[in-house]
Amino acid sequence: MSYNLTEVQDWIANDPSEADRGELTALLERAENGDPDAAAELSDRFAGTLQFGTAGLRGAMAAGPNRMNRAVVRRAAAGLVRYLLEKVGDDALLVIGNDARYHSREFAEDTAAIAAAAGIRALIMPRELPTPLLAYAVQHLGADAGVMVTASHNPARDNGYKVYLGGRCADQFGQGVQLVPPADADIAALIAAAPAAGDIPLADTYGAIGEDVIDSYVSETAALVPAMYSRDLKIVYTAMHGVGTPIMRRIFSEAGFENVIEVAEQCTPDPDFPTVPFPNPEELGALDLAKELAASVDADIVIASDPDADRCSAAVPEHGTWRQLSGDEIGSLLGEYLAGGAVLEPGTPTFASSIVSSRMLEQIATSHGLAYQATLTGFKWIARTPHIAYGYEEAIGFCVNPGAVRDKDGLSAGILLAVLASKLRDQGSDLLGELDRLYTKHGVYLSGPVTVRVDDLSIIPATMAKVRTTPPTTLAGSPVARVWDLSEGSDALPATDGIAWFTDAHDRVIIRPSGTEPKVKCYLEVYLPAGSDLQATKAEAAARLEQFKEDVSAALVL
């Protein structure tokens, strides 16, 4: 692979960032002087343009068209603004937010300045704030689109550009939801046609989202908590070095939870994420500091937000240690709690979850007389479910108040976990006891992942080809009864790159490439009827899940 010298020089000439121009100039000089590493790096950075899709933009921050930087963001903003002008007109409203990662604010300000220069209304959040606040603002203000500059829980080197559509750019059930086809392709085409970054006009001024919007979100989220339960629960909270602390602190207080102890090392924004190599609450070890603090203060629960606070995790005491709940366990618990009071008009209140999440939510919804819908992976699909009352995905994403935030929201999920834990304690139970009650009623559903992370991206399509052409005949001792190729689509689901295997024992695995990271992800679930001895059934299910993981891992080997 080699770079085009003229292309590199043109990019440098039009790059609006002095630092990025200097970085590329130095890299080019090294490459031209015969440094093979510099030449390879330059070739990679100019191998193409960072692609805009249903996840918006996401990638490592560095100079060049195949990275996240001001030049790439300015062209993305110009394409989005052109889309709004064509779709709506010059009275379109765009709202913009950002987290605390490196360059997030300048990316957000550039977007606002480009929108204002093109003549549309642009309102930017007054400071670094969680993603759910931006999603809330899209609906609350009736905006035609929203941009959130965040890489969520990705490593520190990354940043991203997430786009929501609303107002006149979305139908009834897509208001304030992340974009899906064909809008992503339409915007991508306009980005490709945008001028060089240095030629895109910027305005000197633009508007700001008022504190009243932030106050409204806090009050509306705190109001989800009913008055009848106690508030003396001892909570340990961590923001994972992100932006969740100030808003979560206000929600806890307004809802009446004052006994909250913050993980000091992780509750101030820090874009280097110094205490966790990978700032995702799901990752092994990510909650270690929170668990240690919880043990030392004899807390009742750990509640964690990821860096942009759109995801929520939790840990609870169990047999003298602390156990982190899985996304499926939290999803089932919140679903059961919300099912009793789910009301949404018009239409039947509907629960939704991604096809890779636990099948227990469908059982919970049905038992309460509610509708259920399975969707493709991602909240861009979950949140646009008609008449949605609650939705979740196993990757610790929960939409508990879709009338306010039609996306995953780790802040509202966190406060509902707190009130559920309080309710159960008042009744002499706890979250683990409630899970056992659900298992007794619906059967034991245990889920777990198998992940193949790759350096060579060619391994991903090769792996998907293998699982399509040579599926195993048995998994965890049970014959594979059905193979479902998700790329063929169906009346219920659009086509997507994935394959599902179902066994006679009612176990299931779905295999798909990650949409945001270089890996193949497998979502496993085993099922057993509860039986007369629940603990024995859980142990049997856990053993079968481990065997299931081994068999699926073997089936992936090329």
Of 190, 209, 228, at which residue does a domain stop?
Answer: 209
Could you tell me the residue range of the domain that residue 95 belongs to?
A: 53-209
Residues 196 and 311 in one domain: no
State the alpha helices, DSSP H only, in 94-178.
Answer: 104-117, 131-140
How does residue 558 score in pLDDT terms, banded at 50, 70 and 90? Answer: confident
Distance CA 256, CA 262 (A): 16
Give the integer Cα–Cα distance in Å for 305 and 459.
32
Residue at a domain's end among 184, 209, 234: 209
The Cα 151–Cα 171 span in angstroms is 27
Band (pLDDT 50/70/90 cuts) for residue 344 is low
94-121 average pLDDT score: 98
For residues 59 and 158, membership in a common domain is answered with yes
pLDDT band at 1 (very low <50, low <70, confident <90, very high): low
pLDDT in tens, 234-285: 999 999 999 999 999 999 999 999 999 999 999 999 999 999 988 999 988 9
For residues 84 and 71, membership in a common domain is answered with yes
Residue where a domain stops, chosen among 407, 439, 471: 439
CATH assignment at residue 550 = 3.30.310
Q: Please tell me the predicted confidence (pLDDT) of residue 53.
A: 85
Ordered alpha helix ranges (H), 193-326: 211-222, 245-255, 288-297
Q: What is the pLDDT of residue 20?
A: 97
Are residues 227 and 98 part of one domain? no
Does pLDDT of 456 surpass 80? yes
Same domain, 90 and 201: yes
Average pLDDT over residues 388-406: 97
State yes or no: pLDDT of 347 exceeds 80: no
- Tokens read off for 126: 């007054």
Which residue has tokens 């932030």? 214
Average pLDDT of span 355-360: 96
Verify that 425 and 467 share a domain, yes or no.
no
First to last CA, the chain: 26
Reply yes or no on whether the pLDDT at 320 is more than 80: yes
At residue 542, the pLDDT reads: 96
Phi and psi at residue 390, to the nearest 5°: -165, 140
Q: Are residues 191 and 240 in the same domain?
A: no
d(CA 176, CA 220): 17
The arithmetic mean of pLDDT across residues 102-110, rounded, is 98
| pLDDT band per the 50, 70, 90 thresholds, residue 343 | low
Q: Active-site positions? A: 152
Domain check: are 249 and 355 in the same one?
yes
pLDDT at 441 over 70: yes
Give the position of tokens 């002095």. Answer: 18
3-state helix, strand, coil in the chain (%, to 5): 40, 20, 40
Q: Are residues 265 and 303 in the same domain?
A: yes
User: How many residues does this entry show for the chain?
Assistant: 558
For the chain, how many structural domains are there in total?
A: 4
What average pLDDT does range 217-222 have in this prediction?
A: 98
Q: In this predicted structure, what is the pLDDT of residue 248?
A: 98
The yes-or-no verdict on residue 345 having pLDDT over 60 is no
Q: What is the mean pLDDT of residues 170-178?
A: 96
Task: Assign residue 66 the CATH number of its domain.
Answer: 3.40.120.10
Cα–Cα separations (whole angstroms), residue 88 to 165, 371, 379? 12, 34, 25
Residue 227, pLDDT > 90, answer no
pLDDT in tens, 464-494: 999 999 999 999 999 999 999 999 988 888 8
Same domain, 258 and 348: yes
Give ∠ CA 469-473-479 in degrees, rounded to 5. 140
pLDDT value, residue 34: 93
Which comes out higher in pLDDT, residue 345 or 493?
Answer: 493
Token pair 């897509």: residue: 174
Give dist(CA 436, CA 447) in Å, integer. Answer: 15
| Mean pLDDT of all residues in 217-234 | 94
* pLDDT at res. 491: 82
Query: Which pLDDT score is estimated for 117?
Result: 98
* Tens-place pLDDT, residues 4-35: 999 999 999 999 999 999 999 999 999 999 99
Choice among 188-202, 313-327, 503-517 with the minimum mean pLDDT: 503-517
Same-domain check for residues 365 and 314: yes
pLDDT at 139: 97
DSSP symbol at 492? S
What 3-state class would DSSP assign to 320? coil
The answer on pLDDT for 516 being more than 80 is no
- Together in a domain, 327 and 450: no
Amino acid at 351: F
Residue among 325, 327, 352, 326 at smallest CA distance from 338: 352
Residue 384's pLDDT is 96
Mean pLDDT of the chain: 95
Task: Report the percent of the chain where pLDDT is more than 90.
Answer: 92
- Taking the whole predicted model, whether its pTM rises above 0.85 is answered as yes
Q: Are strands 397-399 and 388-393 parallel, antiparallel or unpaired?
A: antiparallel
